[in-house]
């Protein structure tokens, strides 16, 4: 067992008995994100699976203060909270915006870009479950090629996933990280690190979704692990422009034993109609990006 | 219950079991065989991978470990990830495969 497990904050900020689905990848990642952020945090969340997890009035399942905002305004909402805290002279509080991939890649991108440009001192977290899962699995720009969704029900999605991490990197932010819910200790470490840094910080969590990706809930951790082992998700961090691979992706790069994407695809029902041509396209897309990451890690 | 702030019209209070007893969502119940469980055999903190991977935080990192069956949603991640195969998923009464 990892020794670092004992360093993890033992307190739970997400209470049991919440509305998240059984085997939810977001729920697992959220538990560790809150453990790392601890008290003295204010959350702001747009419409997403996370609002469902937070629950209905008059009770909530999270013990950290949270502001619900409109879908497109997550970045602006965080800027507003910060302005309020500044007026009250409370400098010790971390503001964290938590949005889904729809609220980041598609709908929330303008307010996030604006907040990053203003160098707002907050952490923006995108949990990426590759679709609008809360409203019933619609396609988003984070959905990978070849996936079935309710808005691409026959032909599968024809386009590749948007590289949001590159877009955020172009904003020259001080800290940027990619994490997976299947590696909670790596996730925890990156959140602890992000909390100490000043400026706009962006963290993208890969969170497998059992109903949306169509696999049994018990496989959540396995699917997330396969995503990293096939290179669909790469664990890395960029701190002040310095790129480095972390955790499992680092050992994969050292040993060079990356699995083919088919190992990841075959376990999920959403890829049941993917064509051989699309598998080749996806493999090519993964390999090109992986080569680029390896080149950046070695310089 | 703390005093209500008049400036806030709709504010939620934290509560365990916000969605009710989520244990009744379950088809299969996790059952631990303590004689296979690593921390129980070694009599010292070790492993705890079930605690690490539980999405709902209903498993305790204690010796012996315990699962809060009132709120366990029965996803089966603990049984899948247990390196010693100490947790088995058993059908709840009246529910078949």
Is the residue at B70 inside a domain? yes
Query: Which among B68, B77, B80 has CB closest to A16?
Result: B68
- Decide if B74 touches A, using CB distance below 8 A: yes
Query: Which among A21, A61, A220 has CB closest to B77?
Result: A220
- Decide if B80 touches A, using CB distance below 8 A: yes
Tell me the pLDDT tens digit for each residue of B49-84: 999 999 999 999 888 899 999 999 999 999 999 999
* Percent of chain B surpassing pLDDT 90: 53
Cβ–Cβ below 8 Å for B76 and A12: no
Q: Which residue has the higher pLDDT, B3 or A227?
A: A227
Query: Which among B11, B47, B79 has CB closest to A218?
Result: B79
- Decide if B22 touches A, using CB distance below 8 A: yes
DSSP string, A205-228: EE---HHHHTS-GGGHHHHHHHHH
Cβ–Cβ below 8 Å for A17 and B70: yes
> Residue A1 above 80 pLDDT?
no
Tell me the pLDDT tens digit for each residue of A139-180: 999 999 999 999 999 999 999 999 999 999 999 999 999 999
Apex A178 CA angle, A172 and A182, nearest 5 = 170
Q: Which residue has the higher pLDDT, A184 or A5?
A: A184
> Residue A110 above 70 pLDDT?
yes
Is the residue at B39 inside a domain? yes
Domains located in chain A, CATH noted: 3-298 (3.40.50.970)
- ipTM of model: 0.90
Residue B80: the pLDDT is: 92
Q: Are strands A201-206 and A123-128 parallel, antiparallel or unpaired?
A: parallel
Residues A75/A115, Cβ–Cβ less than 8 Å: yes
- Decide if B75 touches A, using CB distance below 8 A: yes
Domain of B85 in residue numbering reads as 32-91
Is the residue at B54 inside a domain? yes
Measured CA to CA, the distance from residue A39 to residue A32 in angstroms comes to 13
C-alpha separations of A203 from A227, A239, B14 in Å: 17, 12, 26
Is the residue at B16 inside a domain? no
HSE (CB half, 13 Å, CA atoms) of A254?
8
Confidence band (pLDDT; 50, 70, 90) for A3? low
Cβ–Cβ below 8 Å for B10 and A219: no
Query: Which among A14, A18, A57 has CB closest to B10?
Result: A57
Is the residue at B7 inside a domain? no
**Tally of structural domains, chain B:** 1
Q: What is the CATH number of the domain that holds B61?
A: 3.30.70
Is the residue at B26 inside a domain? no
- Decide if B1 touches A, using CB distance below 8 A: no
Counting one residue from chain A and one from chain B, the pairs whose CB atoms sit within 8 A come to 114
Tokens, residue A111: 């307010």
Tokens, residue A108: 């929330």
Residue with token string 């699917």: A223
Is the residue at B36 inside a domain? yes
Tokens, residue A170: 């172009």
Tokens, residue A182: 């299947």
For chain A, the straight-line distance linking the first and the last C-alpha, in angstroms and rounded, comes to 32
- Decide if A256 touches B, using CB distance below 8 A: no
């Amino acid at each position: 067992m990892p020794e670092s497990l004992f360093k993890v904050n033992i307190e739970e900020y997400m209470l049991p008995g919440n509305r998240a689905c059984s085997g939810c990848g977001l729920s697992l990642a959220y538990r560790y994100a809150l453990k790392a952020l601890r008290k003295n945090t204010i959350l702001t969340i747009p419409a997403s699976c996370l609002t469902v997890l937070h629950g209905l009035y008059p009770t909530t399942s999270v013990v950290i203060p949270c502001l619900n905002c409109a879908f497109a305004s997550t970045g602006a909402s965080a800027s507003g909270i910060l302005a309020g805290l500044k007026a009250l002279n409370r400098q010790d509080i971390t503001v964290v915006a938590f949005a889904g991939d729809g609220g980041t890649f598609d709908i929330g991108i303008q307010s996030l870009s604006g907040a990053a440009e203003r160098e707002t001192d907050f952490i923006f977290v995108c949990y990426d479950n590759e679709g609008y899962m809360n409203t019933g699995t619609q396609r988003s720009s984070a959905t990978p090629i070849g996936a079935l969704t309710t808005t691409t029900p026959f032909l599968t999605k024809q386009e590749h996933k948007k590289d949001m991490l590159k877009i955020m990197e172009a904003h020259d932010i001080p800290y940027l990280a990619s994490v997976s819910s299947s590696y909670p200790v790596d996730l925890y470490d990156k959140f602890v690190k992000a909390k100490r840094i000043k400026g706009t910080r962006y963290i993208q969590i890969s969170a497998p979704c059992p109903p949306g990706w169509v696999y049994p809930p018990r496989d959540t951790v396995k699917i997330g692990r396969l995503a990293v082992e096939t290179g669909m998700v790469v664990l890395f961090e960029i701190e002040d422009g310095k790129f480095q691979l972390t955790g499992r992706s680092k050992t994969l790069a050292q040993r060079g034993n990356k699995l083919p994407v088919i190992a990841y695809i075959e376990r999920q029902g959403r890829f049941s109609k993917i064509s051989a041509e699309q598998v080749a396209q996806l493999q090519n897309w993964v390999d090109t990006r992986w080569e680029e990451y390896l080149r950046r890690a070695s310089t | 219950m703390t005093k209500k702030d008049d400036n806030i019209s709709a504010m939620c209070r934290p509560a365990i079991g916000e969605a009710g007893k989520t244990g009744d969502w379950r088809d299969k119940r996790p059952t631990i065989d303590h004689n296979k469980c690593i921390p129980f055999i070694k009599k010292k903190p070790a492993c705890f991978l079930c605690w690490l991977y539980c999405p709902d935080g209903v498993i305790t990192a204690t010796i012996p470990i315990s699962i809060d069956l009132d709120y366990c949603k029965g996803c089966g991640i603990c049984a899948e990830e247990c390196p010693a195969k100490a947790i088995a998923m058993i059908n709840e009464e009246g529910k078949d495969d």
